Chains A and B, each alone.
Chain A
Amino acid sequence: NAGVTQTPKFRVLKTGQSMTLLCAQDMNHEYMYWYRQDPGMGLRLIHYSVGEGTTAKGEVPDGYNVSRLKKQNFLLGLESAAPSQTSVYFCASSENRGPRGYTFGSGTRLTVV
């Protein structure tokens, strides 16, 4: 049982380049989330999805796009990377209700130079 898997784990981009971060979960969770974490700050929600084919904006959505074509996958895209997007990105998933909480991936460390 892998839980939540994020790829890649590390990436260096040049300003203006694009990339896609992939998140895959094998727990049949309805909800999926993308967070970013910067030094000294908590987790900030970028986008989330409440089911296959749905996406919604979180706290800091600017500069990012997402897609959830399949229930198990949630993709985060950066169309034109900027140094301000240097961060650690975490994907998480959860059921839509009930006491069980979030399962997080191990993170993607992205540096934009």
Chain B
Amino acid sequence: DAKTTQPNSMESNEEEPVHLPCNHSTISGTDYIHWYRQLPSQGPEYVIHGLTSNVNNRMASLAIAEDRKSSTLILHRATLRDAAVYYCILRANSGGYQKVTFGTGTKLQVIP
């Protein structure tokens, strides 16, 4: 299973942009990059995913390096409600079960 590496924790001031990095040097050509976040006392929820091109949605943006060995989740204006644990995982676009490890993610603290 392809592994991702994220910093354990990050801090951001409220209303400032946040860049959450993820390294995935062993990514294969068919792996999608997914980001999830887990708010306190809740289950993880989907944030965004991408394959090769940068992606935007109402929650965040995903910037993918040209060699796809790293990606960055961008929260354009952090709010207190964005304080959560953010997980970066790889999901293969092929049939059959693939082991996916969520790891411990990055705990984002937003400072008022």
Contact surface of A with B, Cβ cutoff 8 Å: 4, 31, 35, 40-43, 45, 48, 50, 56, 90, 92, 96-107
Establish whether residues A104 and B44, one from each chain, have CB atoms under 8 Å apart when the complex forms.
yes
Chain B residues near A45 (CB-CB < 8 A):
99
Chain A residues near B51 (CB-CB < 8 A):
99
Contact surface of B with A, Cβ cutoff 8 Å: 32, 34, 36, 41-46, 49, 51, 87, 89, 91, 93-97, 99, 101-105
In the bound complex, CA of A41 to CA of B104 (Å): 6
Establish whether residues B43 and A90, one from each chain, have CB atoms under 8 Å apart when the complex forms.
yes
Chain A residues near B45 (CB-CB < 8 A):
104
Closest CB in chain B relative to A98 CB, distance in Å? 6
In the bound complex, CA of A107 to CA of B38 (Å): 11
Given the contacts A43-B44, A102-B44, A97 and B36 also touching, CB distance less than 8 Å: no
Chain B residues near A96 (CB-CB < 8 A):
95-97
A-B CB proximity, top 4 nearest = A104-B43, A43-B102, A42-B104, A97-B95
Establish whether residues B46 and A102, one from each chain, have CB atoms under 8 Å apart when the complex forms.
yes
Given the contacts A40-B104, A106-B43, A107-B43, A31 and B49 also touching, CB distance less than 8 Å: no
Chain B residues near A31 (CB-CB < 8 A):
97
Chain B residues near A41 (CB-CB < 8 A):
104
